[in-house]
Structure 1
Amino acid sequence: MKNLLTDIAGVRVGHADDAKLASGATAIVFDQPAVAAIDIRGGGPGTREDALLGLANTVERVDAIALSGGSAFGIETGGGIQAWLAEQGRGFRVREALIPIVPGAILFDLLNGGDKAWGRFAPYRDLGYAAAASAGSEFALGSVGAGFGATTATFKGGLGSASAVTSSGVKVAALIAVNAVGSATVGDGPWFWAAPFELGGEFGGRGWPDKFTDDMLKLRIKGGPAATERENTTIGAVVTDAVLSKPQAKRLAMIAHTGFARAIYPVHAPTDGDVLLAAATCAKPIDPIVGLTELGMVAANVVARAIARGVYNATALPFPGAQPAWKDRFGV
């Protein structure tokens, strides 16, 4: 176990980012099509192919998932991943035609100091292609890929991942790009809201403060209490090797989304676009009631850990006035 999304067999991850742009893209590629669903909780989401994932709709499996910065421009990331998959002969077959199925989500990072004057066409399609082409079993965390330009209310955001195994041996893992309107840390200190779920000091081992004060619990959001900018959104995917139907994958996404609330304060705000996709590679049978309940419970913990790891591993952007990283303030 690498404590990464790729602990799920048949799943690969690739990043592509641009330091001048201060943004990037991440591709989650499945070696075989995976059952998938989506759960949207934020008030300002940006998604691709979310209707396709509806339980009443025909297509059940996806070839990849696209995560990207760039706000609505970043939706083109899925097109780049789709182009790479088409070159590999992947896709949903309609007679002789093959259509790669690539749902995805975007976050807002257009005001982080990067050069967004890209001309007629945004670069996200090319970033998506490069991310898919580079996908493998090892990948970096922090200020990379879709999390390259991410921020939170207090510290630089980033991309995190974590994994776990249920009591019955089913694996579940998450990959999250953290760009929340709220904070992943308690007050102005080093403690992560996700601390009760931390394993092996994976995000600093600081635990929780000895006590919580009113100041720790006050509103901390980007831009302060009068903030109106839609600069936010935490997006990601939770993947398991359990055998799930599409409705069960939807339930997994719903339960696992609880991990956002365990790791971000406040969460699911009007200017967040929080989105979580769930996918199943369908290798191991699972009990449909108790087994799925435990899987969701563990998945929520994994999501919370991935969020904290994304912030913990982030590095500040190299621009004047850029938001500091957690490690800039508190070391390792």
Structure 2
Amino acid sequence: MADKLFPGPRNLITDVPGLLVGNASDETIKTGATVVVGDAPFTAGVHIMGGAPGTRETDLLAPDKTVQKVDALVLSGGSAFGLDAASGVADALRARGRGFAVGDQRVPIVPGAILFDLLNGGDKTWSANPYARIGIEALNDADTSFALGTTGAGTGALTADLKGGLGSASVVLPSGVTVGALVAVNSLGTVLMGEGPEFLAAPWEMDGEFGGLGQGQPDPYALPRVKGLEDKNTTIAIVATDADLTKAQASRMAVAAHDGMARAIQPSHTPMDGDLVFAVSTGSRSLADPVSESLLIGHAAATCLARAIARGVHAAHAAHGDTKLTWAARFGRA
């Protein structure tokens, strides 16, 4: 059994030691934010495959840029307004004494990405941008345990035919390295196999984590279901490991993880999605064979992300003013 992958003890991205996740939601607006923060700054990379991304400070994650580690990552609803969630997190981290040292100043490095949830039935008539507040609330909520589904950045998320949500999953490699994924699923495409209830990600399911429904019957001639093309979308994710990776290796991990998005959502990476994956390395485990182990870590990241996408939709719950059914409501299952 040494050549198998197994979920971590929580089956969450926080199975990677040293990482915490916090969520905050505004039920009136139908939106929220999710923060990943470490006990210490961590190495990060990014890869964007969607045609309509919304981001903050992603350029500095390139391997040739000066800053080598970041203090937190933020996923948020709100379209461009939601980028302010990362500003709130940066302000709160600065107050804690965190950040890149520049003379006697500390500048927290907080990259972020947003999804579009402005047409989901919530009240968007705010007089002042609420996302800095929501970001701070999410940071203050950071812990090793957190809820999935209709929470954080997944609060107002929608897919082609169901409510979306926040998902997470993890695996432990035979070497002892842990890999995890966190995702806010707000896709133009569907996560279902045919008419459902089975998930496209079913071949990678572990321990019945999203219902143990089996793989359904794919129809190779069927066109995938999508939202109306006037709708806006984006699935944004973070994959993480305790393996000691460089920024370049972390970026390759993000590239590999996009395979998991393509397995779990059809279609993915469209011109109307801003599909993005951040990759995190806490660096606590050295690699005996960086080439072969990096390959396995990329595979594990893709597997975790596919599973996390299905888990996020499976866990969504109904709320007042919803414009789409949850998976549980549509298929009559708790």
TM-score (norm 1): 0.96
| Alignment match, 1:311 | 313
Give the count of matched residue pairs.
324
CA distance in 2, matches of 1:156, 1:263: 15
Q: Determine if contact 1:149/1:317 at 8 Å carries over to the other structure.
A: no
Kindly provide the amino acid, as one letter, of the partner of residue 25 in structure 1. Answer: A
Q: Secondary structure of 1:164's partner?
A: strand
Q: Distance in 1 between matches of 2:183 and 2:214?
A: 21
Q: Distance between the aligned counterparts of 2:104 and 2:25, measured in 1?
A: 35
Q: Hey, what's the Cα distance between the residues in 2 that align with 1:185 and 1:316?
A: 18
Counterpart CA distance in 2 for 1:89 and 1:36 is 20
- Per-residue CA distance 1:151-207 (angstroms, 9 max, x = gap): 000111000000001121100101000000001111221010100110111001111
Work out whether 1:218 is the aligned partner of 2:226: no
Return the match for 2:50 from 42, 58, 72.
42
Instruction: Name the SS for the 1:257 alignment partner.
Output: helix
The residue number in structure 2 matching 1:279 is 280
1:314 Cα offset (Å):
0.6
The answer (yes or no) to whether the contact 1:154–1:188 under 8 Å persists in 2 is no
The unaligned stretches of length 5 or more in structure 1 are: none
The 5 Å alignment of 1:100-119 reads 100-119=108-127
Counterpart AA for 1:221: V
Partner Cα separation in structure 1 for residue 36 and residue 67 of structure 2 = 18
- Quote the Cα distance in structure 1 between the aligned partners of 2:169 and 2:213: 18
Where does residue 55 of structure 1 map in the other structure? 63
| Whole-angstrom distance in 2 between the partners of 1:103 and 1:128 | 12
CA distance in 2, matches of 1:73, 1:157: 20
Structure 1 position 80 matched with structure 2 position 88: yes
- Stretches (4+) displaced over 2 A: 211-215
- What is the alpha-carbon distance in structure 2 between the residues aligned to residue 207 and residue 228 of structure 1? 33
Choose the corresponding residue for 1:296, options 295, 298, 318: 298
SS in 2 for 1:34: strand
Matched, 1:179 2:186: yes
Compute the displacement of 1:58 (Å). Answer: 0.7
Shift of residue 274, structure 1, vs aligned partner: 0.3
Deviation at 1:317, TM superposition (A): 3.2
Q: Give the SS at the match of 2:240.
A: strand
Q: Does the residue aligned with 1:259 lie in a helix, a strand or coil?
A: helix
The residue that corresponds to 2:267 in the other structure is: 266
Structure 2 counterpart of 1:328: 329
- The whole-number CA distance in structure 1 between the counterparts of 2:218 and 2:70 is 44
Residues 1:201 and 2:208 aligned together: yes
Per the alignment, residue 163 of structure 2 pairs with 156
Q: Is there any run of 5+ residues in structure 2 with no aligned partner, and where? A: 1-8
Name the Cα RMSD after superposition. 1.1
Distance 1:219 1:259 in 2: 17
* 2:251 pairs with 1:245: no
The answer on whether the counterparts of 2:168 and 2:311 sit within 8 Å (CA) in structure 1 is: yes
Q: 2:224 & 2:203 partners in 1: Cα distance?
A: 22
Please state if 1:33 is matched with 2:34: no
SS in 2 for 1:289: helix
Once the two structures are TM-superposed, the CA of residue 228 in structure 1 deviates from its matched residue by 3.1
Q: 1:128 maps to which residue?
A: 135
User: SS in structure 2 opposite 1:79?
Assistant: helix
Contact between 2:62 and 2:248, CA under 8 Å: does it hold in 1?
no
Partner deviation per Cα, 1:42-76 (whole Å, 9 max, x = no partner)? 00000110111122211110110011000000000
- Cα offset, 1:256, TM superposition: 1.2
Q: Identity across aligned pairs (percent)?
A: 50
Change beyond 3 A, Cα 1:8–1:214: closer
Structure 1 Cα separation of the partners of residues 148 and 90 of structure 2: 24
Question: How far 1:219 moved relative to its partner?
Answer: 2.7
Deviation sequence 1:98-153 (CA, Å, 0-9, x none): 1111001000000001000001x210000001110111111100000000000000
TM-score by length of 2: 0.95
Residue identity matched to 1:253: A
Distance 2:44 2:136 in 1: 21
Q: CA offset at residue 214 of structure 1?
A: 5.3
- Look up the equivalent residue of 1:222 and give its one-letter code: K
Tell me which amino acid in the other structure corresponds to 2:258: H
* C-alpha contact (below 8 Å) 2:194/2:218 kept by paired residues: no
The CA deviation string for residues 202-236 of structure 1, in whole angstroms up to 9 with x for no partner, is 00111111x32357x3231001xxx233x100001
Partner Cα distance (1:212, 1:94) in 2: 55
SS of structure 2 residue aligned to 1:45 = coil
Q: Secondary structure at the match of 1:77?
A: helix
